[in-house]
Amino acid sequence: QLQLKESGGGLVSPGESLRLSCVASGLPLDDYRIAWFRQAPGKEREGISCISSRSGIRTTYVDSVKGRFTISRDNAKNTVYLQMNSLKPDDTAVYYCAADYNPWSVYCHLEDRDGRYENWGQGTQVIVST
Residue from 49, 27, 25 nearest 37 by CA: 49
pLDDT for res 63: 97
Cα angle 14-15-19, degrees, rounded to a multiple of 5: 100
Q: How confident is the model at residue 3 (pLDDT cuts 50, 70, 90)?
A: very high
Report the pLDDT averaged over residues 75-94: 97
Question: What's residue 37's pLDDT?
Answer: 98
Kindly state the average pLDDT of the residues 75-86: 97
Residue 71 burial (CB < 10 Å; 0-12/13-18/19+)?
buried
Q: Hey, what amino acid is at 16?
A: E
Average pLDDT over residues 24-43: 95
Give the pLDDT score at 46: 97
- pLDDT value of residue 106: 87
pLDDT digits (tens, 9 = 90+) for 36-78: 999 999 999 999 999 999 988 899 999 999 999 999 999 999 9
pLDDT of residue 122: 97
Q: What is the 3-state secondary structure (H, E, C) of 26-93?
A: CCCCCCEEEEEEEECCCCCCEEEEEECCCCCCCEEECHHHCCCEEEEEEHHHCEEEEEECCCCHHHCE
Longest Cα–Cα distance of the chain, Å, equals: 44
Q: What is the pLDDT of residue 57?
A: 87
